[in-house]
Structure 1
């Protein structure tokens, strides 16, 4: 039996593409090692081989299919390196939504890759598509077993066998992206993260068994009518930037300092995110579950919730105590699938960007002061105790897309910053508005007809690589405080905390939960 040229073309193109992907891995910021388990190599070859077979079966053009697969692999490498530069974390399988989110919310993602690289990649893909379809012809005897389809059948069998063999090994992963990519390679680590992502978490929230402060335990005076309003503010990218430079004017966070001086608790807060991935901090705060305990679900816990994982939260617990629970977030509720997740968390209402239709933006997003006005409005209209969870947006980057205005340096610094600190100037301009938000919240909470408690914290530090290169990189801890409008509580000295403990500490400090419930 004589094999047709199309058979050998398909085989050689597959081997060439496979070799190219292995070479491209060397350009990863966390480059994969040559020495890795045989099962990891089997997974790499099996996944690439099956993808190649599918593409060639559809297109009929093996060289073109190889070019497309290698181009996509190169895109993964570039995106992983961009993520590592901005967020100090390699690309993982659970990040696949980056690609769809980049289309729906381009301003949040593409600038970190670089608009130049993005348009170059788009132009290259279109050019490759045009040239590949035009220059490479489909073989005349494509469907013959001695031709292309015979090669595809052989490659499919080999690839499937390698994939099944590699899969049986159940390679160990540390759920540490950089180490796993280095140890197993990009595709094998993707496969193992995908496998583990299919397993639903078995963890439970401490709010499932937390004891409330109820009239059945205390006196009748401690009834529903005496429960305080509760407002938690997850301030986007908020941390006290004065920690990295004494050139910054201290008064830009004057109200924040005042709140801390009156707070029942304040200090540095350990959060599981750097620069982005807000939902990691958000979920830990609301659920009381430590991010690292989630395994592979720590990258995006909300996906597990959407898949059917039922978890108690601060909101669902407060709802059982008689609170009306409201989330305010001036961005589309569909982002991170919050429109699906937050009702499952026990929120009665979600006020997203639609509630700010008539509000002028501060920079590219709805400003913090406008959000404070919305909180004040909800408090004024409340007929019973309310829990309001606020997720702000004003401080959200990319900061480098905004421009330093005339007078910013003088208004924000005691001494001009070193070169390369333009992002810091933009950031200070925004957190000064966060301080104004605190002033408005103080007025609304202090004038309420019932006691009120405020928990303020940042979700992560901002992305400012050039600033950190000039002034030093912060450890990643943000700032928090817990404040009660009634005063009279014992003020504690600076006390560091972890975000998964913060909500329970807040409930104890506000008098809603007993200490022994912890």
Structure 2
């Protein structure tokens, strides 16, 4: 056997061994490879070999290809474990696009991975590439290069054939990522979720959410509607009793006066705002979304669905979204026209003076609503506010000692600085609610203010000491001319909130 072929086969076997060992570092840890079904083992082995041969064809050095393939797997392992620790969910096939987003929007992602670790990993990668080319000669510079190339192509073809035969035989996913990762292992799990993305979203999954009405309300009676999706909002006072109750004084008042209020069951923890956002706007349940539940906007950018904005537009509303971040993030610039929004006001409409902390402040959003109402609209206005002020990473901000003194009983415990930062922004959101209420009360027609949190915040240090909250957020639906007897108090799922809001409007006479 020639040296080149021997090196290639040895490196291929090393790749299979390393990829199996590296899986043991995942959280949650997959079941042992030998305990999985034959199709799962086949997909794992074929993917590892195909990954190896791809890099071997590029770099022409067998052991360097092993290092590259193993290093890239370790990147996924590290990202997976960071995500599991912060968001209680492992890495998904859908998350590969976030590597691009991390370059475009590094503040949203890299601090959770670790800035120091990111720099160290990038530097180590650059050194490894230089060392790999310097230390190992090219496989194709050997006399047996044609036979080595033939072996690489044979391994690639065998791996591709194995994938073609084994992928359709993978066990069905439960769409509970923690469970699927354990049962399938990393590569088959990613393949299985990727295959689900190829299935189009079934039409009509929310047909009953926003029904057309044969006797719509007269346009003159329709209220202005401001719907606030508050970043990382939940009421933390029951979870952390040391927080002073007056921090959310306006929220309490509005909830008490609201037509409907309560806790909100959201399909996200710590991040993935778009899941809650889609549920509220479209009424689509996770079951209806299937494999697209983790990032539904890829499908909604290509197909129309019944939704709150479109239904309100049909009643005569002017529909506007205000979000102080680039409109292209999460494909909102493509999705929102499909949903029926007339205008999208994004970060370009704000400046540095509007910032509070790392992002545009909540009070600046209220200022945009004031501007729209001041123009004297001749039609009812629907404004969907997506806030950013409370977006993490909270640990990048320095806590204000006065904030802790204002809103906490006793001293701030060590390691709880994220909580002090969070409470400051939480109170700013409360002040935004006060301004929105006054704006709607002074408007040219009745007004309605709806509000909800998209998910709980990421505060791992606080949760480690104090325990995690239950993951529910809060909502209310308030209007300027509500009758006290109309009040409803109950826990609601996010996919029912938009439909409830729409039903409240069309029942006005």
Q: Name the TM-score, length of structure 1 as normaliser.
A: 0.94
* Deviation, structure 1 residue 171: 2.4
Q: 2:383 aligns with which of 388, 411, 433?
A: 388
> Could you tell me whether the CA contact under 8 Å between 1:324 and 1:348 is conserved in 2?
yes
- What's the secondary structure of 2:256's corresponding residue? helix
Which residue of structure 1 lines up, in the alignment, with residue 244 of structure 2?
249
Partners of 1:513 and 1:99 in 2: CA distance: 46
Q: CA deviation at 1:205?
A: 5.1
SS of the counterpart of 1:243? coil
Provide, for residues 466-495 of structure 1, a one-character-per-residue CA deviation record: whole Å limited to 9, x for no partner.
Answer: 111222211100010000111225243531
Mean CA deviation greater in 296-305 or 489-498:
489-498
Deviation at 1:142, TM superposition (A): 5.4
Per-residue CA deviation, residues 199-249 of structure 1 (Å, 9 max, x unaligned), is: 111042546774456xx637xxx4112211111100000001112122111
Contact 1:7–1:146 at 8 Å: present in 2 too? no
Task: Give 1:37 deviation, angstroms.
Answer: 1.0
Please list the CA deviations of residues 320-346 of structure 1 after superposition, one character each: whole Å capped at 9, or x if unmatched: 111111000001111111111111111
Q: 1:71 to 1:471 in 2, by over 3 A?
A: same
How is 1:64-213 mapped onto 2 (pairs within 5 angstroms)?
Answer: 64-140=64-140, 144=144, 147-204=147-204, 206=206, 210-212=210-212
Deviation of 1:458 after TM superposition, in Å, equals: 0.2
* CA deviation map 1:62-117 (0-9, x unaligned): 11111011000001000000000000000010111121111111111111111122
Cross-structure match for 1:21: 19
**In the alignment, structure 1 residue 287 sits paired with structure 2 residue 285:** no
Distance in 1 between residues matched to 2:56 and 2:143, nearest whole Å: 12
- Which of 373, 376, 387 pairs up with 1:379? 373
Question: Aligned to 1:230, what secondary structure does the other structure show?
Answer: strand
1:207·1:317 contact (CA, 8 Å) conserved in 2? no
Query: CA distance change for structure 1 residues 205 and 227 in 2, over 3 Å: closer, same or farther?
Result: farther
Give the Å deviation of 1:14: 1.3
| Equivalent residue, structure 1, for 2:346 | 352
Moved more, 147-156 or 495-504: 147-156
The answer to whether the 8 A contact 1:21-1:70 is kept is yes
Is 1:318 the equivalent of 2:316? no
Deviation at 1:7, TM superposition (A): 1.1
Conservation of the 8 A alpha-carbon contact between 1:327 and 1:350: yes
Root mean square deviation of aligned Cα: 1.8
Whether the 8 Å CA contact 2:202–2:288 is kept in 1: the answer is no
Match of 1:409 in 2: 404
Mapped contact 1:418–1:470 kept (Cα < 8 A)? no
Tell me whether 337-346 or 352-361 shows the greater mean CA deviation: 352-361
Residues paired across the two proteins, number = 506
Aligned partner of residue 502 in structure 1, secondary structure: helix
Q: Distance in 1 between matches of 2:352 and 2:73?
A: 44
CA contact (8 A) 1:49 1:156 kept: yes
Gap change, CA 1:245 and 1:147, over 3 Å in 2: same
Shift of 1:313: 1.0
**1:358: how far off?**
5.7
Q: Which residue number corresponds to residue 473 of structure 1?
A: 468
Question: What's the counterpart of residue 335 of structure 1?
Answer: 329
Give the alignment partner of residue 485 of structure 2, picking from 476, 483, 490.
490
Q: How many Å apart are 1:144 and its aligned residue?
A: 4.9
What is the match of residue 302 of structure 1? Answer: 297
Distance 1:345 1:235 in 2: 20
Quote the residue 1:12 is aligned against: 10
1:123, CA displacement in angstroms? 1.2
Q: Equivalents in 1 of 2:156, 2:330: separation in Å?
A: 36
Partner Cα distance (2:252, 2:434) in 1 = 11
- The aligned counterpart of 1:30 is 28
- Residue 376 of structure 1, CA deviation: 1.7
What CA distance in whole angstroms lies between the structure 1 residues aligned with 2:507 and 2:149?
Answer: 68
Matched residue SS, 1:147: helix
Is the 1:212–1:513 Cα contact (8 Å) retained in structure 2? no
Contact 2:210 2:306 in 1 (8 A): no
Do the aligned residues in 2 keep the contact of 1:279 with 1:300 (CA within 8 Å)?
yes
1:502 corresponding residue in structure 2: 497
| Change in 2 beyond 3 A, CA 1:259/1:319 | same
Conserved 8 A contact 1:4-1:146: no
Instruction: Pick one of 395, 416, 436 that aligns with 1:400.
Output: 395
Give 5+ residue unaligned stretches, structure 2: none
Q: CA deviation at 1:411?
A: 1.2
Does the 8 Å CA contact 2:225/2:382 hold for their aligned counterparts? yes
Change (3 A) 1:226 1:352: same
Contact residue 308 and residue 502 of structure 2 kept, 8 A: no
Match of 1:437 in 2: 432
CA distance in 2, matches of 1:501, 1:479: 13
3-state SS of the aligned residue for 1:463?
coil
d(CA) in 1 for partners of 2:362, 2:459: 20
Task: Provide the rounded CA distance (Å) in 1 between the counterparts of 2:87 and 2:140.
Answer: 50
String of CA shifts for 1:288-313, please: whole Å, max 9, x gaps.
Answer: 1112431210110001223x232121
Choose from 439, 452, 461 the match for 1:457: 452
Corresponding residue SS for 2:353: coil
Change (3 A) 1:208 1:325: farther
Distance 1:54 1:358 in 2: 46
Partner in structure 1 of residue 55 of structure 2:
55
Assess, with a 3 A threshold, how the Cα gap between structure 1 residues 489 and 423 changes in structure 2: closer, same or farther.
same
